[in-house]
């Protein structure tokens, strides 16, 4: 039986990063993958969706070229070519992971992996042949998939999940998006920008419900301005796919409404991939669809670990990567500290983009903090105005007593690249006054961070 120091089950951004770090630390490492290296994120999630969104953004620029003093005749799109470009980007990234596996001398075990007692994994290839491997440490990183609701069964044709939404053979004229988390609003923006008539149905009172309420309201205004219909506090109770398209019965605060569309995209969350991987045979404990782990991702069975979407933390690619690195560094005997889940940035890549870290204003008040709140709109930013992206704002929340940066919330162009300033500052326990005295370059979108902090301390200059 082939043996390793570490076997990683799953090659998404949690799995492959974990394997690379393990190899860097001198551990003989293998990774098991049943589909394409890179997992859902590289092949069907984070990366290809960003390629689609970029095409939508460029198309939007072309349609509004005259606003920039330019003339473009008959700007049009080729939906098939847009999808093909997205797949090319994904394929290129997957090949990049293959290169990284070779570079770091990680053995790739292609097939479906199943855990066995005694720190073993059996891998069944496409030919049905099974091979068993042993390891001192086995790390589960099998990720998640689109969640199906009983009243929204996915048939892959008229009621679809995010995976199918990236590879539709034909652009729909009308689409219903159920759920307004990151996946829902990103696809809503993409299809609307491409010319599809889009309706978003959200069960809770606000879209992107995990965000600060002011951010949610701003995104709703921006979406409505773009022609997206928003239905909040609403629930799809029934779908009928017997006709040409789909008919959705929606329960709203004003009564029942029937929506008709070509396609309904179910974006109501994710389901962890913990079935049929041997958890029961090994005796690994789970709770509410998640594998139970300690601060260093050890399960209840010695030698077995779990990271990423299968664990209780946020289901984000960068979280899975951070957890995997911490896990193997602990295995290698390094001194590591548990991950601070209160300082994890969240990013949504619709237009305008949304980014946040830390407490919302409501959460801070509910926790009993006396707070200072500052807000700076991009309409007052020279760079934002010159770029044609004046929608949105930066909002900061500080503890009034000690100056601790409790939360930062952004909506606007490029804010997913700006949020890291707040993450690093909070990690270093930076105060509001220190941000104020850190010179920010002009003209940039990032000045809005400094200006929002200045607003919190009644020192704002450009507002």
Q: Catalytic residue at 335?
A: no
Structural tokens at position 261: 């569309």
CB atoms within 10 A of CB 443: 13
- CA–CA separation, 62 and 338 (whole Å): 47
Element (H, E) at 313: none
- CA–CA separation, 269 and 209 (whole Å): 13
Catalytic annotation, pick one of 64, 318, 409, 442: 442
CB 307 within 8 A of CB 324: yes
Beta-ladder partners of 109: 32
- CA–CA separation, 445 and 434 (whole Å): 19
- CA–CA separation, 249 and 237 (whole Å): 6
Give the ranges where 64-181 is alpha helix by DSSP (H): 79-103, 162-165
Distance of CA 431 to the CA centre of its chain: 28
CB 177 within 8 A of CB 267: yes
Rg over CA atoms, the chain: 24
Structural tokens at position 211: 């965000």
How distant, in Å, are the alpha carbons of 8, 390, 442 from that of 395? 40, 15, 19
Known catalytic residues?
A: 442
């Amino acid at each position: 039986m082939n043996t390793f120091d570490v076997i990683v089950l799953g090659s998404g951004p949690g799995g492959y990063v974990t394997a690379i770090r393990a190899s860097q630390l001198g551990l003989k490492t293998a990774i098991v993958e049943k589909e394409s290296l890179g997992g859902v994120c590289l092949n069907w999630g984070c990366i290809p969706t960003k390629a689609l969104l970029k095409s939508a953004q460029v198309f939007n620029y072309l349609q509004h070229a005259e606003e920039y003093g330019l003339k473009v005749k008959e700007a049009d799109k080729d939906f098939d070519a847009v999808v093909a470009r997205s797949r090319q980007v994904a394929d290129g990234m997957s090949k990049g992971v293959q290169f990284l596996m070779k570079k770091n001398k990680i053995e790739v075990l292609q097939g479906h992996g199943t855990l066995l007692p005694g720190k073993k994994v059996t891998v069944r290839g496409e030919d049905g042949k099974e091979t068993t491997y042993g390891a001192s440490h086995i790390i589960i990183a099998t990720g998640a998939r689109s969640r199906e609701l009983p009243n929204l069964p996915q048939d892959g044709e008229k009621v679809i999940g995010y995976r199918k939404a990236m590879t539709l053979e034909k652009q729909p004229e009308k689409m219903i998006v159920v759920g307004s988390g990151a996946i829902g609003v990103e696809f809503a923006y993409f299809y609307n920008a491409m010319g599809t008539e889009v309706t978003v149905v959200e069960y809770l009172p606000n879209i992107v419900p995990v965000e600060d309420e002011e951010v949610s309201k701003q995104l709703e205004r921006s979406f409505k301005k773009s022609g997206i219909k928003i239905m909040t506090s609403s629930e799809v109770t029934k779908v009928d796919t017997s006709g040409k398209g789909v008919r959705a019965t929606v329960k709203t605060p004003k009564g029942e409404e029937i929506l008709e569309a070509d396609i309904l995209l179910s974006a109501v969350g994710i389901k962890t991939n913990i079935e049929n991987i041997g958890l029961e045979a090994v005796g690994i404990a789970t709770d509410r669809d998640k594998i139970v782990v300690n601060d260093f991702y050890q399960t209840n069975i010695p030698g077995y670990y779990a990271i990423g979407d299968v664990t209780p933390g946020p289901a984000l690619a960068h979280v899975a990567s951070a957890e995997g690195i911490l896990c193997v560094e602990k295995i290698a005997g390094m001194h590591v500290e548990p991950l601070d889940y209160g300082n994890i940035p969240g990013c949504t890549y619709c237009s305008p983009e949304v980014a946040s870290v830390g407490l919302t204003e409501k959460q801070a008040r509910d926790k009993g903090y006396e707070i200072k709140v500052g807000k700076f709109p991009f309409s007052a930013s020279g760079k934002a105005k010159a770029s044609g992206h004046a929608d949105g704002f930066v909002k900061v929340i500080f503890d009034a007593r000690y100056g601790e940066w409790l939360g930062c919330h952004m909506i606007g162009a490029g804010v997913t690249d700006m949020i890291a300033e707040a993450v690093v500052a909070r990690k270093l326990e930076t105060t509001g006054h220190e941000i104020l005295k850190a010179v920010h370059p002009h003209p940039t979108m990032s000045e809005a961070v400094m200006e929002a902090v200045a607003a919190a301390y009644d020192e704002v200059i450009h507002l």
